[in-house]
Structures are given as C-alpha cells and as structure tokens.
Amino acid sequence: MMANSRHWLVIFIFTTILFSPLFATLIFSLSTYWALTPLPSDWSYQWYVELATNSRFLHSLLRSCIFALGATIVCCVVTVPVAVIAEIKAPKLKKLMNMLSILPFALPPVVIAVGLLQVYSSGVLILTGTPWILIGAWCILIYPFIYQTISNNLKALNLKDMLEAAQLLGARSKTSFLLITLPNIRTGLTTGILISFSFLLGEFVFASILAGLSYETVQVYIYNIKEFNGHFTSAIVISYILLTFFFSISVTLIKNRSK
C-alpha cells in the first residue's frame, strides 16, 4: 500500500508540474484583470469572442491550414511511391531514405532556412516571400514523419507477395497500387498526415524567415502580437493547444482501431 501511495504521489506531483502553466494560461485567457490575487477579480469570454471575429487571426489560421495541407499532400505524393518501391525492389534505396529521414533533425531549422533563403533570393528562381518556398521547406520537415509511419506499416505487410498475386490475376501496376497498396497502408499514412499537419501548425522558424509578414501564419501572428494583449495571446495559445490535442487524440484512435 505504501509503495502504491508513493507511485500515485509521484504521478500527482508530475501532473501538477506539467499542467500548472497550461492551467494558469487558461485562467489568464478567461480574465480581464489578474494581479495581486490568487484568482482573477473579473472573468470574461471576451478574448475568445474577439479571437473568433478577428480577421487577421482567421486569415493567418487559414494560411497555416492551407500551407500545412499543401505540404503534407506534396510530401505524401512524393514519399509513398518511393517508400513502396524501396520496400519491394530496392533495399539500397531504403537505406538512403532512412538516412535522409535523420537529416531534418540533425540540421538546425535555422541553418536550413538561411540556406534556402540565400539560394532562392536571387537568380532565375526567386521564391523567398512566397508560399511555395514555405510549402517546399515544410515538406523537408515532415518527411521523417510521413516516411517512418509508412515504412513501419509496410514492415507489417507481406506486400511483395500480394502484388505478385495481383499481377498473376492480370492487375496492372497502377491498379495494384490503388486497390492493394494504398488500402493496406491507410493506417500508417493517416497517422503520418495527422502528425505532420499538427506539427506544421506550430512551426515558426521556416514561416518567419522564408515567408515573414507576406504570408503570416498562426505562429508568426502570435509572435507579432505578443506584446499587444496577454489575455488575447493566451486565448490563442489555448485554442492552438486544443487543436493539437484533437489531432493527437485522432492519431491514438486510429492506432487503436488498427489493432
């Protein structure tokens, strides 16, 4: 009983330390004035109402969603066929893809962003300050998530034998890919998409350096108004955390359903 009580005490302390800042941010976002008292002297939902009617915030959120969705789709279109080919026919290509999936974590995002900025700020192809360079850079960031989730899904399948059986029955390569490969990697692909999308919604370095104020995303918007009103900024942070929590729960449900 004593050991069990200690375990629960450790869990309680850890949970308190972990969620106290988040709880304080939530209280601050629901108040109009909070100083020198344990709890706010006045409560209000006005910051969330203002958030829902703030055109600049809504536009930045829409841009973030469009750019994140675009980068995720482009990365999936490029990565899925190559991952399938590497799993079935080219083991050496698989080693190369595993090595490339480490690079976005090995190189600091600032270094990658500055390098892209120097390459695409002059010459024939000028992309700095446009959404295209941001979408391309985000593809680099989410490639490990997309590839690893698909690769793990492929390892659990005997895909090579399945595709050979389909060819013996007269199915073409395109038909086999659409009707056999994609349905079987649906779980891994969906998980990778949700993780990538939620990750990109919180990306700041690439969005700030490569797109800047020309195409303001949510994180850039939060940075630009951080000194405007702390209550309003706290409401944005809480809303973003809830959105990320929704995607995390979705990934967990998908994994549990696949089991």
**H helices within the chain, ranges in order?**
2-29, 46-53, 55-88, 91-100, 103-106, 109-119, 131-155, 159-168, 173-176, 182-184, 186-201, 205-206, 218-224, 230-258
Confidence of residue 1 (pLDDT cuts 50, 70, 90): low
DSSP 222-248: HHHTTTT-HHHHHHHHHHHHHHHHHHH
Q: Which residues contact 155 (CB under 8 A, 6 or more apart)?
A: 87
* pLDDT tens profile 164-206: 777 777 777 777 777 777 888 888 888 888 888 888 888 888 8
Structure tokens at 33: 């004035």
Residue 151 has pLDDT above 70, yes or no: yes
Q: Give the gyration radius of the chain's Cα atoms.
A: 23
User: Whose CA is closest to 215, among 133, 155, 136, 145?
Assistant: 133
* CA dist 167 → 40, 174, 178, 180 (Å): 69, 11, 13, 11
* pLDDT tens profile 24-66: 888 888 887 777 777 777 787 888 888 888 888 888 888 888 9
* pLDDT tens profile 205-214: 888 888 877 7
Q: Cα(45)–Cα(235) distance, rounded to whole angstroms? A: 9
